[in-house]
Each structure stands twice: as structure tokens, then as C-alpha cells.
Structure 1
Amino acid sequence: METVVEPTTAEAIERLAVALDDLQHAGVTPTSADDARGLIVALETQARRMRSVQVDLVEQIDRTATCVLDGHTSAKVMVRHLAQLSGAEAHRRAQCARALRTMPTVKASFASGRIGGCQVERIARAHANPRVRDAVEANEESFAAEAETNEYLAFDALVDD
């Protein structure tokens, strides 16, 4: 039986950089409407997966308090500073990280690329409201399923309800 050696984080990031270089070199010019649709879905799925890793990084920095060791007051501040993000973007990532702590189905759907950052951010905004947090957590499987099957505007209206 062959032993599988897991890559280190640094090795995985390097392979990601090489793959992105290859993709940028190959280009993304569609040859037909079908090809355009396929490219949109394929690239969006990968972007969603990448976004989930960015949110998970905020969660891991917060969980390990690595930010304090670097002189930052929070994971949100550390990521905002080092990634040169707007305060609003850093806030969204931190809010998503907090919500996903208690929502494993939504987290898995996001990590697989089945739902996007916009949907996760909408769920996280609802989750941030203490008056409805318990209901959001209790219905997280439904939120994940609805986020996977509905266009964003319909999903947004559903969350409002």
C-alpha cells in the first residue's frame, strides 16, 4: 500500500500559484456560448473555494491568537493590514468566519464551491443578529440547500423572511 504524503501549506500555495500562472498564460477566451458558460461556472467554483480558504485563515488566526503574537488586536485587523484590505472586506471575512464556526453544512458547501461568498456573507449578516442567531443556526442545512439552488436575489429575500 502506497503512503500518501500530504503537501505542506507552503507547497500547496506554490502549486496554486503555478496553476494560476498556467491559467493566465492559457487565457480564458471562450470559443462559444457553451464554452463561456462552462468557464464561468468552473472559474467561479474555484474562486469560491479560494474565498473559503481566505475566510478559514481568518478563523484559524483568531482561534490560535496568532494575531496577538504579531502585535495585532484581532485576526480581522491583522488580515486587513497585511492583505491591504478595506475595513469592510476584513469585517466581512471575520463575520463569515464567526458564523461558519457553528454552521458545518454551510461551511462544507462553501469549501466545495457549491455556494459563493455573497451567499455566505448574507447568512453571516443574519447570524450576527443576536435576535435570530439561534434560528439561523437551527436552519443552516436549509440555508445551504437554498443557497445552492437559488439565484442570489431570491436567496437574499428568503433570508430576509
Structure 2
Amino acid sequence: IWRRLALHRCNDLLCFVKLNKLPDIVSYLLSVPLSDPQEFELFISLFEIMAYQLYRNTTLGNTLQETLDELIQFGQITPQLALKVLVHFDRTMNNSLALKVKNRLTFKAGKLNTYRFCDNVWTFLLSDVEFRDVSELCKGETVKIVACDGKAVPPTKDD
């Protein structure tokens, strides 16, 4: 299940709402009046990194989101701070993997079932796949690969 975070106005506060479909997020965000400059800044930063939230579905990303949700529920942090943490997580993961990881692997697929290129993100659905690195071989029946340009996310002053 793809989890996307969007901002939702709730009693004049910004809260997190987990949604499954990107068009729902976009249409909702476009319908929200952005009178406060801080809300506008959060809105723009959300769109800047929306395609680079790939690592939120990892064990580390899911654990971070659950922890932030708990901290919001107990009133220890604001939703705005949680969003800033997630944006920083997205940028840090993308930058670190683009610049620091030097491992290479090759793969061979029996069949390319589907592919899609949308918002600078490639999605491939492959079957009968073999992954190889220097010393290991790993086989998979069905594999989904989501790929984007990790260098496209501009670094911020906090990175």
C-alpha cells in the first residue's frame, strides 16, 4: 500500500492525513485556501518532494512515521514539525543513496509486465527476475522497481 502524506485543515490546525491516491491529495491541497505564509511554504515543500517519498515505505520510514504519529497524538510535537522531519528524511535518504552508496548490481528479467514514467519517476513491474552482485544471486518471482533521479532533489541549508 502506498502511503502519501497530505496536509488537512482540522480546527484551524494542520494535521496529517494518510491517503492512498495521489490525485486525491493534489485535488484536496488545491482546494485549501493558503492565506498563511507558513501554510504556503509547507504546501510548496510538499510538492517539491512528493515524488521522492520512496523510502517512507521502508521499515525505517514506516517506523519514523508511526513514531511521529504517536508524538503528535501525545502533543509532544506539532504536525508542522513532523512534516519537516519527514521532508528532511526524504531528502537525506535520496542524497545519501545518490552520493554515498557505491555498490552495483545487475539484474535480468524474464518479462517486463508493465512500465510507467510519471513525474520523473519510473515504475517497472518485472517477472522471473535474477539479481546479481559480486558474490550473490537472488531470484524473485515478481518485482516492482521504482526509480527516480536522486540528484534532482535540491539540498537545503539543513542537509
Per the TM superposition, whether the score is higher than 0.5 is: no
In terms of fraction of residues, the more strand-rich structure is 2
Q: TM-score, normalised by structure 2?
A: 0.23
Structure number with greater CO (CA < 8 Å, separation at least 6) is 1
In terms of fraction of residues, the more helix-rich structure is 1
Q: TM-score, normalised by structure 1?
A: 0.23
